[in-house]
Amino acid sequence: MTQTPQDTELKTDRSRLRRAHEKGSYDRDSLYAVLDAMPMCHIGYQINGTPSVLPTLQWREGDHVYWHGSSASRAIRAMDGADVCMTVTILDGYVLSRSAFHHSVNHRSAMIFGRPEKVTDPTAKETHLKTMVDMIFPDRWDSLRPMTDQELKATALLRMPISEGAAKVRTGPPVDDDEDYALPIWAGVVPMSLQLHHPEPDPANLQSVVMPDHLSRIRIG
């Protein structure tokens, strides 16, 4: 999934590193690794002049990021052509240090700034939605009841070029003040990860239906 476009450097002056031991990356590979690992994102936008943050799913195709919603959604209408910020965050662990001050969180995050625009061509929309489904649930699309024209009309699709943003990654043990390493205080990391559990079939499934192989290929985080 990783791509290596020609302009690997991303513009950014709005994404800041909050701690010296965080690693900030302005190359596309680092950013794309976070986007491709976690569809869950939070999109900041303005509605009636006030900030709002929408949780939704994103997916990346090349140097663009996509998300969708209801055509009737006020959020989608407010985002179309306006400045937005998309943030993806993956929690990897709690970092427990010897002082309250140096406690931290191991994480991978991506932040992208830009202006999305609607994809309106029905054929293009359907192709992108197929890509979404097949990225999150590998090869599921072809097993589904085909999308109807009405469903396609009811679905709004936004697309945003990835041109300004950054990735941030924090890994490893706590970083304490030099003199605190002599203290008899337990320090370390409590790792965490999002785990997928055994699929629960819909009780309404037909008896003849078996669990498809593609479920075992779902990945997240």
Site for its own copies in 65-94 (CB under 8 A): 69-70, 73-75, 83-87, 89, 91, 94
List 1, 7, 149, 190, residue binding its own copies (CB under 8 A) = 190
Give φ, ψ of 98 to 5 degrees: -85, -10
Q: With CB under 8 A, what is the number of residues at the site for its own copies?
A: 96
What's the CA gap between 160 and 175, in Å, rounded?
A: 37
Q: Tell me, residue by residue from 111 to 130, as one string, x for binding to its own copies by CB under 8 A and - for no binding.
A: x-x---------------xx
What's the CA gap between 122 and 54, in Å, rounded?
A: 25
Residue 78's SS3 state is: helix
The residue to which tokens 């994809």 are assigned: 119
Does 155 contact its own copies by CB under 8 A?
yes
Window contacting its own copies (CB under 8 A); options: 1-9, 22-30, 58-66, 172-180: 172-180
List 81, 101, 153, 217, residue binding its own copies (CB under 8 A) = 101
Does 37 contact its own copies by CB under 8 A?
no
Window contacting its own copies (CB under 8 A); options: 4-12, 28-36, 59-67, 205-213: 205-213
Which residues is 47 bridged to in the sheet?
A: 50
Q: Report the alpha-carbon angle 62-68-71, nearest 5.
A: 140
Q: How far is the CB of 148 from its own copies (least distance, A)?
A: 8
Does 21 contact its own copies by CB under 8 A?
no
Two tokens, residue 207: 């008896």
Q: In this structure, are residues 110 and 101 in contact, taking their beta carbons and an 8 Å threshold?
A: no
Q: How far is the CB of 6 from its own copies (least distance, A)?
A: 27
Cβ distance to its own copies smaller for residue 14 or 23: 14
Rg of the Cα atoms in the chain: 21
Does 198 contact its own copies by CB under 8 A?
yes
- Pairing relationship of beta strands 50-61 and 64-70 according to DSSP bridges: antiparallel
Q: In this structure, are residues 6 and 29 in contact, taking their beta carbons and an 8 Å threshold?
A: no
Does 46 contact its own copies by CB under 8 A?
yes
Does 20 contact its own copies by CB under 8 A?
no
